[in-house]
Amino acid sequence: MALLGKTYHTFSDEDLMLHVAAKDSKAFAALYDRYSGRVVNYFHRMLWQDEELAQDFMQELFMKIVHKPELYQQGRPFKTWFFSIANNMCKNEYRRREVRKGTANELPEQVMGESGLGIESNVDHTEFRARLNEALEELDEAKRSVFLLRYEQDMSIKEISEALECSEGTVKSRLFYTLKMLNSKLKAFEGIGAMLIIMNWINEWI
Amino acid sequence: MNRHKKYDPEDIESLLLNKRFDELYPEEEAFVLEHLDSPDEYETMRRTLLELEQIDWSENQIQPRRDIRRTLLAEFKSERRGGFVFWLNSLFAMPESGRWYQNRGLQLALGLLIIALISSLLLFRPTPGHHLADRSPEHSNAERTVEPISDSLERLDLSNAIAENNTAAAKENAEEETHDLRLDLTARRDQNKDMALETEITTTTSADDLLKEDSFAGVAFDDAHLKISEQADEIQSVALDNLADYTAPQVTIQNQNAESTVTYTAPLSTTNVYVTDEMYGNTTQERIVLSEVVVTEEGADLFEPANPFAEGVSLKMYKSFVDELYTSR
C-alpha cells in the first residue's frame, strides 16, 4: 500500500512500528515526533533532572529502534513496550551510578541544595510543582516511575503494569504508598495548597 | 448500589478522586481506614491528588534537541541501505595494505574469469551422445538419400580398405577383387541403369532413440559371404552362423562369394547399409539357397521394392535393428 506522508499521523503506534520494521523512514519520523518529547521528559524526571543525560538517553532509546526494530513484539502495545525499555535504561543507569558512587539514589548536589520544603510566599501551582519535583527526587526508582507513568504519561494501571512488567496490584500498591509519601512530604504545603484549591473552586463558581 | 459498583473498592485512588470521606459507604470507609490513619489523612491525600490532577505537565518541559532527530533519521536511512556500500571509484584502487590480491577490481575480475571457465567447461563437456550429435547433419543426409548404385560404386576405394587387412594375401586378393568388380560393375551399370536401386530410408526415431542407437550393440551379419570393415581400419570376416556386432560410421561389406566389396557411407552405423543388385548378381547360387530361409523369415521386406536380396544375403540381426529404428520405403 502506498502511503502518503500525511497519513502517518493517523496511524496507530503499532502500525507505525510495523512500517519502521519494514525500513520506512517516514514512519520512524512520525513515531519519533509522537514520543520523543514524552520520553525525554520522562528521562529528565527519572534521571535527576539532568537534561543532557535525558537527551542522550532519548537518542539511545530511539537508536535501539533504528538498529533492532525486530525487538518490538507484534501485538504488544507500543507505548508500554517503549516505556518498559526506557524504564530499564533508567534502572541500568541507577545501578551504574550505584557502583560508581557506592550510594543508591544519590541526587546531584545542586538539586539537593536547591531543595527544601519550606513554605514560600508566592505559592501557586508552579510552586507546588517545584515542591513536587523535589519530593519526587527523594522517591525510589520504582515508586517514581509508577508515579510519572501514571500522572505525567497518563497511562492506565494496566499499561503501567505491562511497562514495568509487574502485576496491577503491585502498581496500585506502589501508587498508593507514593501518594501517601508525597502527602507527608508536601504537608508543609498543605495549608496553602488547600487554600489555593478552595480559591480556585470559588473562582470557578463565580 | 450502582454508584457503589462504579468504584473499584480496592482502588483508593478512585475513591480519593471521586469522593470526600463523608461520602464514602461504610464498607469503603472501612477499606480506606485499613490503609490510612484517619479521615484527615484521607482528606489531605485527596487534596494532594486533586492538585496533581490539575498540574499541566506540558509546562516547563524540555524539548528534544533538533540535531537528535536529524542524526536518528540519517542513521535509519543508512541502516535501510544495508551494510554493504560499494563505491565504483574504489574498484581498482590499491588497498591500504598494498597487497595486490586485496584489490577489489582484481578479485572481481578473477571471480568472473573462474565463473566463465567453469561455465564453458560445463557447456562444452563431452556427453555420451556427443558423437551422434556431431554427426547428425551427416547422418541425416545419409538417411534421406541412398545414392544410386552407380554413384556409390564410383566411390569405392577398395585398395584402401583392403590395405587395412592384416595379411598381404588379403591385400592382393582385394586388389584383384576390386579390379574385377570395377570391370563387372561398369559393364552392368549400362545394362541395369534403370534398375539402379534408390532407396530412401527415413528415420522414425527421436533424438533420444539415436542415443540408444549409439549404445546398441550394432549390426550383426549372419552370413559367411560378407566381410565387414569398420572405417576401413579393420576387416573382419564373418563366419557362417556367427553373430557379431558392428557399429561404425562407415562400413565396407565384402561379398566374398560374389567377389565384390562395397563401402557404404553410413555415418552412424551399418544401419544405413543398403544392398545393391550388383551384389545380388554376383552372389553364388549356393549362398542364395542358404540365405533364402532367413530372408524369407525376417528380411524379405527390408529392401523393397527392388529387394535385391530376395534370394540373397541374410541380415538377421540387421533386420531387427533396422526394424527398430527405421522404416524402409
Record: contact A29-B71, CB cut-off 8 A: no
| Domain hosting residue B293, numbered range | 148-328
pLDDT digits (tens, 9 = 90+) for B274-288: 343 333 333 322 222
Which pLDDT belongs to residue A124?
59
Which chain B residue is nearest to residue A51, measuring alpha carbons? B62
Structural domain total, chain B:
2
What are the residues facing B252 on neighbouring strands?
B229, B263
Together in a domain, A50 and A126 = no
Record: contact A59-B72, CB cut-off 8 A: yes
Together in a domain, B174 and B316 = yes
Please tell me the distance in Å from A66's CA to the nearest CA on chain B.
5
Instruction: Count residue pairs from A and B with Cβ separation < 8 A.
Output: 102
Q: By mean pLDDT, which of A118-132, B51-65, B79-93, B255-269 is the weakest? A: B255-269
In a domain, B114, yes or no: no
pLDDT digits (tens, 9 = 90+) for B6-39: 455 557 788 888 888 888 888 888 888 888 888 8
Record: contact A151-B57, CB cut-off 8 A: yes
In a domain, B107, yes or no: no
Cα–Cα distance, B132 to A106 (Å, whole number):
92
Together in a domain, B206 and B324 = yes
pLDDT digits (tens, 9 = 90+) for A2-40: 444 457 888 889 988 888 888 888 889 999 999 999 999
pLDDT digits (tens, 9 = 90+) for B63-91: 999 899 999 998 888 876 654 545 555 56
Which pLDDT belongs to residue B97?
60
In a domain, B275, yes or no: yes
Cell triple for B288: 542364395
Residue A169 identity:
G
Domain boundary among B20, B35, B52: B52
In a domain, B235, yes or no: yes
Together in a domain, A101 and A124 = no
Q: Are B309 and B293 in contact (CB under 8 A)?
A: no
Domain boundary among A48, A71, A106: A106
Together in a domain, A77 and A161 = no
**What CATH number did the domain enclosing A92 receive?**
1.10.1740.10
| Domain hosting residue A129, numbered range | 110-206
In a domain, B174, yes or no: yes
Give me the interface pTM, i.e. the ipTM.
0.72
Average pLDDT of the segment spanning B236-254: 40
Average pLDDT of the segment spanning B202-229: 36
Q: By mean pLDDT, which of A42-46, B42-46, B236-240 is the weakest? A: B236-240
Together in a domain, A75 and A119 = no
Together in a domain, A33 and A102 = yes
Together in a domain, A67 and A137 = no
pLDDT grade for A60, boundaries at 50, 70 and 90: very high
Record: contact A183-B51, CB cut-off 8 A: no
Which pLDDT belongs to residue B116?
93
Together in a domain, B170 and B286 = yes
**What CATH number did the domain enclosing A131 receive?**
1.10.10.10
The CB density around residue B275, as the number of other CB atoms within 10 Å, is: 26
Q: Which residues of A32-65 are buried (b: 16+ CB within 10 A; e: fewer)?
A: bebbbbbbbbbbbbbbbbbeeebbbbbbebbbeb
The answer to whether residue B74 neighbours chain A at the CB level (below 8 Å) is: no
In a domain, B324, yes or no: yes
Together in a domain, A206 and A157 = yes
Structural domain total, chain A:
2
